[in-house]
Chain A
Amino acid sequence: MSEFSDLYQDQILDHQKNPRNFGELAGANHHADGFNPLCGDKISLNLKVDAKGIIEDIKFKGSGCAISKASASMMTVALKGKKSGEAEKIFHQFHDMVMGKSAKTPAELGKLKVFAGVREFPARVKCASLAWHTMEAALHDKQEVVTTDDGIKE
């Protein structure tokens, strides 16, 4: 068990089993779809951002592995009530953490720090970051489906 507890932390398993903010969002004004063609993970993300740029509500739907599902769920919890600018900042910090780019994990990431173990599993980085890329696309109202395929097969 211990060899996997870095990746599959209790909180991740909990969010995987009981995803938060899962389902439809009435009155959403930002939307994007994400797709990982390598493993078939799919996410559909809806946000309701108010006039001041605050994420009033955020919900997701989709299917995927434990990492991608838990990441989407914990992202929605972390971003609710945040300004969109802050959300993007957290995204970049999160991305650097799972890519192993940051020497020290910023304290602002809070509970999201449980994903730090992903850096030891390079094949799973895309699973952890799919929801976040989709969120960024939604905030920028990008029409195209977000994919983790950059044209180079792993």
Chain B
Amino acid sequence: MKTKVKNQKTLQPKAATFNVRKVRKDFPILKQKVHGKTLVYLDNAATTQKPLAVIEAMDTYYREYNSNIHRGLHLLSEKATGAYEAVRVKVQKFLNAKESREIIFTRGTTEGINLVAQTWGRQNVGAGDEIIVTTMEHHSNIVPWQMLCGEKGAQLKVAPINDAGELMVDELKKLFTRQTKLLSITHVSNALGTINPLAEITSFAHSKGVKVLVDGAQAVPHLTADVQKMDCDFYVFSGHKVYGPTGVGVLFGRYSLLETMPPWQGGGDMILSVTFEKTIYSKPPNKFEAGTPAIAEVIGLGAALDYVAKIGLANIAAHENSLLEYGTRKLLEIPRLKLIGTAGHKAGVLSFTLGDIHPHDIGTIVDRQGVAIRVGHHCAQPVMDRFQIPATARASLALYNTRGEIDALAKAVRKAKEVFE
């Protein structure tokens, strides 16, 4: 009982300490004007802006200790190696992984998924086997599996979603057979905002002997991703969607799996010894990090995770949920606006259509009013097909957004109506 109360306490947002006006000062880019109007940045699901702490951490690395890691005995190299490896521990804590050697740095979510497909997948998926994905996946969680299935003669199965954009869990469960090897599923949908009930799903998959990869690209900026609690086998995300730089991402893999997987790319830093007769590979994570990594970016990612921890994920979630609620209300006041993705459990995304007005035309008009949103299929064409629409306009939220910005979005969208109706 005692621990329960304590847990609840840690999840309670410290509302008094979260001040969005103060937070905005941490992001230098937000001060500027675009097309003569104050920038309203609502394209955070594409990429988030970077706080000064991240920009400065990378700048300091290049100014003061730029050096290659894992090889030099000199001071700068030791400093760079220390900073790089310290981020591995930060990521481990961020994901609540058991060990830091379960954390592999990649180029991003896409590379993480491809790495698993090309190593674990090629080793474990054969002719007649099955991989399950869902309708709401981003292309990066579809195409690598299609490529693998094509190569191996395996089958890709797709779990449906309902009209609200929620995963139909019972239908998903029916897809599992003895041939199923992997379920690869998003934590949060980039096009719809839906949060999937992962703990329930992974427990079911494991009862069938099926491994689970979770695409966390859209989840980690908004909610706690605890890989032990959700009990997934792989978890991937990108640094740039959680206030870090582009060019760096993370693959978490259960250590017992990583150990049995073949290496992915061959090269320096992933070997113990090389002769022309035989090469002995390093242990994970080094086995999967061939070549000089994105050192500055990893250091930048570390600063981003520190920043998020300082603000508090619970505070961020509370702020964004209140904005999401407000934005939902404000947008639905606009006649003929239809929200795509109305799941009960949702994070950070307001995807919509507006009568017959094409999202591209909406995008152009709101852009000229300083409002940056994404229009298009969001690299999730199967989602668009499911709702029988070519595209949507999508506003996506971050910790620095305000109610005033939601009002600016609503005003800009009404302008689009004026031009076209």
A interface, CB within 8 angstroms of B: 1, 3-4, 7-8, 13, 38-41, 63-67, 121, 123-124, 127
Contact = CB atoms under 8 A, between A and B. Distances in A.
B390 interface: yes
Contacts of A38: 376
Contacts of B365: 4
21 contacts: A1-B418, A4-B365, A4-B368, A8-B420, A38-B376, A39-B359, A39-B360, A39-B377, A40-B376, A40-B377, A40-B384, A40-B390, A40-B391, A64-B390, A65-B358, A65-B360, A65-B361, A66-B361, A66-B420, A121-B364, A123-B364
A7 B364 contact: yes
Contacts of A40: 376-377, 381, 384, 390-391
Contact of A66 (B358, B368, B384, B391): B358
Contacts of A3: 368
Given A1-B419, A40-B381, 12 more contacts: A4-B365, A8-B420, A39-B359, A39-B360, A40-B376, A40-B390, A64-B360, A64-B390, A65-B361, A66-B361, A67-B360, A67-B361
B360 to A, nearest CB: 4
Please list the 7 inter-chain residue pairs (A to B) with the smallest Cβ-Cβ separation, ordered nearest first: A65-B358, A65-B360, A40-B390, A66-B361, A39-B360, A65-B361, A4-B419
A66 B355 CA distance: 13
Interface in B321-377: 357-361, 364-365, 368, 375-377
Interface of B: 357-361, 364-365, 368, 375-377, 381, 384, 390-391, 418-420
Contacts of A66: 357-358, 361, 420
A121 B366 CA distance: 13
A136 B395 CA distance: 37
A38 B384 CA distance: 14
Nearest to A3: B368
A1 B381 CA distance: 33
A38 B358 CA distance: 13
A123 B360 CA distance: 10
A63 B390 CA distance: 8
Contacts of A13: 419-420
A39 B391 contact: yes
A126 to B, nearest CB: 10
A123 B367 CA distance: 11
A19 to B, nearest CB: 12
Contacts of A63: 390
